[in-house]
């Protein structure tokens, strides 16, 4: 029937001899596929090497590579479409905890990405598809990553000219944080983005977590929503205190905020600009500081994750065995997408990194000295423009009313998680050779 009944995932992690480093490798398998009989083992090996450190979807991309390649191998042994095998073992809940997900539109990711990619044109026989002297292979794999959120404190200020200033210690490492945070604030308070200043990147500013774990948008973004809502309440309070104010008897639910103006819902002609409220406050800026935090008690009842499905086409020179990823489609379910352009860029970057992990990146260690021998971009290989061809990104329609006030999840890493396995599976489909180690070198295909 193609249903998984038992699962054994064992891993040996690496650390240094002088401190512990634990990479979360094995739990991901059971978060996707239900099995009545399970065994998960993780051992830590202290080595005479520098301590490892997290690098983009740590644990997830390595752990999922194992299960997704095994699922592909199982599909071929069952003479079943690898996508169909995953759909038969699809679970709406988290099998590892028996909790429902706050939201899970992975099925939609599978179907949309498969259609866009043209998965139905796949000939299932390994080595059967060709393009001139190139062997063509199709592969797919699933990605999953935790939907992290951490506390974040925001200072929100309406300045004397009626504009909004936000202060937070977060950073922008090129992901578009500044744009997205300004966008979230504009939507919440009813202002043009041009009238909002987001000041960040200074540890003296209100607390924020570090940039990592795909968590800044959900953490700092929720902090902004919480702070701006409190700021709107303070604006109403200050407006009510102005002599002769038409808002003197208004409650918060009686007013709207739009175009830097507060107005009565039942009579929009009764309004006051933010700058006039500040003027009525003797010209003093109106400030609040609020902490946005995950709703831990509520979330205890759920599992929370982002999901993705990656479909890949490779072409392999029949004689030289050189490998090229010619096409890839990744579909992502990550709740509400605040800014599709910056989110798409995040997924594209993840897909490139997935290609890099599968085919390029590798460290070489001197066995006598325990020293890395290729710690430079001349010898540590990463993709060039010639290695990256057609990439496509799809976002599933996923509504999440549980995860946080915005219904959002991070997208920085989930697009990477399934890519290396999808590439390895495509290489098997093209050649009939299963290679389990990464990166995959063309000389391993020459050994056939």
pLDDT digits (tens, 9 = 90+) for 384-404: 999 999 999 999 999 999 999
Residue with tokens 């072409």: 315
Q: 419: left (phi > 0), else alpha (psi -120 to 50), else beta?
A: alpha
Residue with tokens 């970057």: 349
Tell me 336's DSSP state: S
Does the bond joining 364 to the residue before it have cis omega, within 30 degrees of 0? no
Query: Could you tell me which of 145, 138, 114, 115 has the C-alpha nearest to residue 350?
Result: 145
For residues 281 and 312, membership in a common domain is answered with no
Beta strand 93-94 pairing with 99-100: antiparallel
pLDDT, tens digit (0-9, with 9 covering 90-100), for 314-347 = 999 999 999 999 999 999 999 999 999 999 999 9
* Token output for 243: 């002599």
Residue 428 sits at φ, ψ, to 5 deg, of -65, -45
For residues 138 and 200, membership in a common domain is answered with no
Residue with tokens 């104010």: 245
* Token output for 436: 């389990």
Give the pLDDT of residue 448.
56
For residues 269 and 323, membership in a common domain is answered with no
Residue 81 sits at φ, ψ, to 5 deg, of -60, 130
- Specify whether the CB–CB gap between 395 and 331 falls below 8 A: yes
Domain range enclosing 168: 152-293
For residues 162 and 285, membership in a common domain is answered with yes
Q: In the predicted model, what is the mean pLDDT of the chain?
A: 96
Beta strand 305-317 pairing with 286-292: unpaired
* Token output for 435: 């290679």
- Specify whether the CB–CB gap between 190 and 150 falls below 8 A: no
For residues 315 and 441, membership in a common domain is answered with yes
How buried is residue 105: exposed, middle or buried, by Cβ count under 10 Å (0-12/13-18/19+)?
buried
Q: Tell me whether residue 189 is in a domain.
A: yes
Q: Tell me whether residue 307 is in a domain.
A: yes
Give the pLDDT of residue 163.
97
For residues 189 and 242, membership in a common domain is answered with yes
Query: Could you tell me which of 344, 390, 429, 433 has the C-alpha nearest to residue 83?
Result: 429
pLDDT cut 70: percent of the chain above it? 100
Q: What residues have CB less than 8 Å from 25, skipping those under 6 apart?
A: 11, 13, 42, 59, 62, 63
Q: Indicate the residue among 245, 272, 293 that finishes a domain.
A: 293
* Token output for 298: 């509520």
Question: pTM value?
Answer: 0.95
- Binning pLDDT at 50, 70 and 90, where does residue 60 land? very high
Least confident piece of the model among 121-125, 277-281, 441-445: 441-445
Q: Indicate the residue among 293, 321, 339 that finishes a domain.
A: 293
Instruction: Give the bridge partners for 327, in sequence order.
Output: 313, 390
Segment 93-97 shows an average pLDDT of: 95
- Binning pLDDT at 50, 70 and 90, where does residue 73 land? very high
Instruction: Give yes or no for residue 173 having a pLDDT over 90.
Output: no
Give the pLDDT of residue 237.
97
For residues 348 and 398, membership in a common domain is answered with yes
Query: Could you tell me which of 341, 164, 332 has the C-alpha nearest to residue 259?
Result: 164
- Specify whether the CB–CB gap between 382 and 446 falls below 8 A: no
Q: Tell me whether residue 222 is in a domain.
A: yes
Q: Tell me whether residue 33 is in a domain.
A: no
Q: Indicate the residue among 293, 308, 335 that finishes a domain.
A: 293
DSSP string for 275-328: HHHHHHTTTPPEEEEEEE---HHHHTTSB-EEEEEEEEEEEEETTT--EEEEEE
Spatial strand order of the sheet with 261-264 comes to 255-258, 261-264, 271-273
Longest distance between any two alpha carbons in the chain, whole Å: 88
For residues 67 and 120, membership in a common domain is answered with yes
For residues 170 and 267, membership in a common domain is answered with yes
Q: Tell me whether residue 31 is in a domain.
A: no
- Taking the C-alpha atoms of residue 438 and residue 448, their distance in angstroms, rounded to an integer, is 18
Segment 72-83 shows an average pLDDT of: 98
Give the pLDDT of residue 97.
95
Q: Tell me whether residue 3 is in a domain.
A: no
- Taking the C-alpha atoms of residue 360 and residue 419, their distance in angstroms, rounded to an integer, is 13
Residue 304 belongs to a domain with what CATH number?
Answer: 3.30.365.10
Count: domains in the chain: 2
Instruction: Give yes or no for residue 228 having a pLDDT over 70.
Output: yes
Taking 3-state DSSP, the helix, strand and coil percentages for the chain, each rounded to the nearest 5, stand at 35, 25, 40
Least confident piece of the model among 219-223, 258-262, 363-367: 363-367
Q: Tell me whether residue 9 is in a domain.
A: no
Segment 283-302 shows an average pLDDT of: 96
- Sign, CA torsion 177/178/179/184: positive
Beta strand 371-372 pairing with 390-395: unpaired
Give the pLDDT of residue 209.
86
- Binning pLDDT at 50, 70 and 90, where does residue 96 land? very high
- Specify whether the CB–CB gap between 354 and 431 falls below 8 A: no
For residues 308 and 430, membership in a common domain is answered with yes
CA-to-CA dists, residue 39 to 5, 73, 170, 339, angstroms: 12, 20, 40, 40
For residues 167 and 263, membership in a common domain is answered with yes
Segment 140-149 shows an average pLDDT of: 97
CA-to-CA dists, residue 234 to 9, 140, 190, 225, 257, angstroms: 54, 52, 15, 14, 13
- Specify whether the CB–CB gap between 231 and 163 falls below 8 A: no
Q: Tell me whether residue 19 is in a domain.
A: no
For residues 308 and 439, membership in a common domain is answered with yes
Segment 49-68 shows an average pLDDT of: 93
Residue 134 sits at φ, ψ, to 5 deg, of -105, 135
CA-to-CA dists, residue 4 to 90, 111, 190, angstroms: 10, 21, 51
């Amino acid at each position: 029937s193609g249903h998984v009944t038992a699962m054994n995932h064992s891993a040996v992690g690496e650390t240094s001899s002088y401190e512990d480093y634990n990479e979360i490798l094995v739990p991901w398998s059971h978060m996707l596929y239900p099995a009545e009989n399970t065994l998960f083992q993780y051992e830590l090996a202290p080595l005479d090497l520098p301590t490892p450190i997290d690098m983009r979807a740590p644990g997830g991309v390595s752990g999922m590579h194992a299960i997704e390649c095994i699922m592909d191998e199982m599909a071929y042994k069952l003479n079943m479409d690898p996508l169909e095998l995953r759909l038969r073992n699809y679970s709406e809940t988290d099998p590892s905890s028996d909790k429902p997900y706050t939201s899970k539109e992975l099925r939609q990711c599978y179907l949309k990405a498969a259609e866009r990619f043209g998965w139905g044109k796949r000939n299932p026989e390994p080595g059967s598809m060709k393009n001139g002297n190139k062997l063509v292979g199709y592969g797919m794999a699933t990605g999953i990553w935790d939907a992290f959120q951490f506390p974040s404190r925001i200072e929100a200020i309406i300045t004397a000219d009626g504009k909004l200033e936000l202060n937070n210690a977060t950073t922008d490492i090129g992901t578009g944080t500044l744009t997205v945070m300004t966008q979230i604030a504009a939507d919440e308070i009813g202002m043009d983005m041009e009238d909002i200043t987001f000041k960040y990147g200074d540890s003296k500013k209100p607390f924020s977590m570090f940039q990592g774990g795909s968590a800044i948008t959900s953490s700092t973004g929720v902090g902004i929503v919480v702070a701006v809502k409190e700021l709107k309440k303070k604006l109403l309070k200050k407006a009510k205190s102005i002599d002769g104010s038409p808002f003197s008897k208004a409650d918060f639910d009686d007013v709207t905020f739009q175009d830097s103006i507060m107005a009565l819902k039942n009579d929009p002609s009764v309004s006051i600009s933010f700058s006039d409220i500040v003027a009525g406050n003797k010209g003093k800026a109106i400030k609040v500081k609020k902490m946005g935090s995950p709703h831990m008690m509520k979330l205890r009842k759920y599992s929370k994750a982002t999901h993705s499905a990656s479909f890949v086409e490779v072409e392999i020179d029949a004689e030289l065995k050189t490998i090229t990823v010619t096409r890839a489609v990744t579909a992502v379910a990550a709740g509400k997408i605040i800014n599709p352009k910056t989110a798409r860029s995040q997924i594209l970057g993840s897909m490139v990194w997935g290609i890099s992990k599968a085919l390029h990146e590798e460290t070489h260690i001197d066995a006598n000295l325990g020293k890395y021998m290729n710690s430079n971009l001349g010898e540590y290989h990463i993709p060039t423009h010639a290695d990256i061809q057609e990439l496509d990104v799809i976002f599933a329609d996923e509504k999440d009313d549980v995860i946080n006030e915005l219904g959002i999840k991070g997208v920085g890493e989930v697009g990477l998680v399934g890519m290396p396995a999808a590439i390895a599976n495509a290489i098997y489909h093209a050649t009939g050779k299963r290679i389990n180690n990464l990166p995959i070198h063309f000389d391993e295909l020459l050994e056939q």
